[in-house]
Amino acid sequence: MSGNQLSKSMPSAPAKGRGKWTKPAIVTGVVVIIALLPLLLTSPYMLHILILTFIYTIAAVSLRTIIISGQFPLAHAAFMGIGAYLAGMASRWLGWSPWLTIPSAALVTMGIGMLIGYPFARLRALYYAMGSLFFGIGIIQIINAGGVWTGGYSGLTGIAPLLPMGTSKVSYYYFFLGLALISLIALYRFEFSRIGINLKAIAQSHLVASSVGINEGWYRMLAVGVGCFFAGLAGAGYAHYNMVISPSSFNFLATLWLVMYVLIGGVGSFAGPIIGTFILVLIPEFFRDLKMFSPFISAGILLIVVYLMPQGLVGLPQLIRSRLLERRKGKSITHAP
């Protein structure tokens, strides 16, 4: 939760025997496979699910950007909601083009995030988590109370589509794949830039970090700002893709599920939230025919990760390797004379 805890859950860099090109090769391979998927999957329904996954990936990874600064926000879906509603309302009531609403909604969300980040910078650890949780609920309540402007509890309709009506899902697929890739690259660069390293230092110990001249308050605000920018981007993209939005998509439970995407993937690695989102969105969707029983699938995934994978899903290869090593060692001991 606080910095100490976070550093505990981050895996120490393991000594790997792999070449330095292994990682980029895997990443390129995965991206190429995903980019070629529309050739294999002819069903627009599967493409729709993947588009949603891309949108949630942006949100989950940006949530992790805030988490590495040692804060644990529980309002991320609400920030997505701010982006979605700003874009949706600008499109519905002002008639702005989606190409204008999406970036401006993301920027305004960033501004709101940083403004909110300022008073919230006083709060630490659990107090921050709870404060942001209540803030997120407040946002949803304001949307609920928005009457005609936000459409209230029933949602806002009549948002202009991103691409002209009748565009195939494949175009949307590549648009959101591109958006996700650009966002992920930006967030990756951010995390491993000087700012990102300073953020991790603050997470380790805010006192030590401020003693070496890191302006803690400013950096924390910056992390929230960057996280909110991409949350707003994801939300605005979602609004123009779906054309209808409802506050229930961004409520307290949605936030908790976003947190779950990050946690089951593993908070210690950049790939964690990406893997987590894909697992928790796609697998329950495959079991949609279970109807009433389908929530059990998500719960089952959570249980498996909690009990068997202490580092999250990204820790799985390492876990298997160490298990194998242990077994080999155990064997050699028993075989010793």
Partner 1 sequence: MERKKILTVALSICIVLSLVTLAFMTACPSPAPPAEKTLKIGALLSVSGWYSVIDALEAAEVQAVAEYINDEGGITIDGQKYQIELVIEDCKSTFEGITAAANRLVYDKGVKFVVGPTAFFSTASSPIFEQNKILHVSGYSTAQPGELDTSTPYGFIGHNCSVADCIAGIKAIKEEFPDVKKVAIAIPDDGSIPYLIPKVKRALELQGYTVVGDTIGHPNEMEDFSPIAAKLNAIEDADAYLHINGAPPHLGNVLKGLRELGNNKPYITTSLVSCHVIAAIAGTGGATKAISLGITPHAPGNPPQLDAICDKLGTQYEEQGVIYLMTGNSLWVLAQVIEAAQNLDPTVVKEKWESMDTVETLFGTGILSGDETYGIQNHAIGHPMPYQKLMGGEVSFGGWVDVGAIP
Partner 2 sequence: MELAVQTLTNVLIFSAMYILAALGFAFLFNMLRILNFAHGAIYMIGGYVGYLFIVGMGFNQWVALLLATLIVAAFGVFLEKFCFRPFVGDFNRTIMICIAIAVILQTTVNIMVGTKMMAIPTFVEGVFRAGPASISYERIVTFAIGAALLGLITWFVNRTKWGQQMQAIAQDREGASLQGINVHRISALAFALGCGLAAVAGCLLGAYLRLSPFMGDLMLIKVLIIVMLAGIGSINGILIAGLILGSLNAVLPVLLSGAASDAIIIAIVVVLLLIRPQGFFGYEVEI
CA 272 to chain centre: 10
169-191 helix and 216-242 helix, angle to the nearest 10 degrees: 180
Residue count (the chain): 337
**Applying CB under 8 A, does 166 fall inside the site for partner 1?**
yes
β-strand partners of 245: 156
Cα–Cα nearest to 315, from 279, 264, 258 = 264
125-144 helix and 98-120 helix, angle to the nearest 10 degrees: 140
β-strand partners of 156: 245
**Residue choice 7, 104, 144, 171 for contact with partner 2 (CB under 8 A):** 144
For partner 1, give the closer residue by CB, 89 or 226. 89
Write out the two tokens for 160. Answer: 């202009």
In the bound complex, what is the minimum distance in angstroms from residue 17's beta carbon to partner 1? 27
For residues 9 and 135, what is the distance between their CA atoms, to the nearest angstrom? Answer: 27
**Applying CB under 8 A, does 2 fall inside the site for partner 2?**
yes
**Residue choice 10, 34, 37, 123 for contact with partner 2 (CB under 8 A):** 123
**Residue choice 51, 221, 267, 281 for contact with partner 2 (CB under 8 A):** 267
CB atoms within 10 A of CB 105: 29
**Applying CB under 8 A, does 174 fall inside the site for partner 2?**
no
For partner 1, give the closer residue by CB, 40 or 292. 292
In the bound complex, what is the minimum distance in angstroms from residue 88's beta carbon to partner 1? 12
**Applying CB under 8 A, does 293 fall inside the site for partner 1?**
yes
Distance spanning both ends of the chain, measured CA to CA? 48
**Applying CB under 8 A, does 32 fall inside the site for partner 1?**
no
For residues 232 and 295, what is the distance between their CA atoms, to the nearest angstrom? Answer: 28
In the stretch 108-147, what mask flags binding to partner 1 with x, by CB under 8 A? ------------------------------------xx-x
Angle at 299 between CA 296 and CA 302, to 5 degrees: 150
Q: For partner 1, which stretch binds (CB under 8 A), given 113-121, 179-187, 201-209, 297-305?
A: 297-305
* Residue 11 interacts with, from partner 2, partner 1, none (CB under 5-8 Å by kind): none
For residues 216 and 245, what is the distance between their CA atoms, to the nearest angstrom? Answer: 36
Cα–Cα nearest to 76, from 247, 245, 256, 215 = 256
Can you give the binding site for partner 1, defined by CB under 8 A? 43-45, 48-49, 52, 144-145, 147-148, 150-155, 157-158, 161, 165-166, 242-246, 248-249, 285, 287-297, 299-300, 303-304, 307-308
Can you give the binding site for partner 2, defined by CB under 8 A? 1-2, 4-5, 9, 72, 119-120, 122-127, 130-131, 133-135, 137-138, 141-142, 144-145, 147, 152-153, 252-253, 256, 259-260, 263-264, 267, 292-293, 295-296, 298-299, 302-303, 305-307, 310
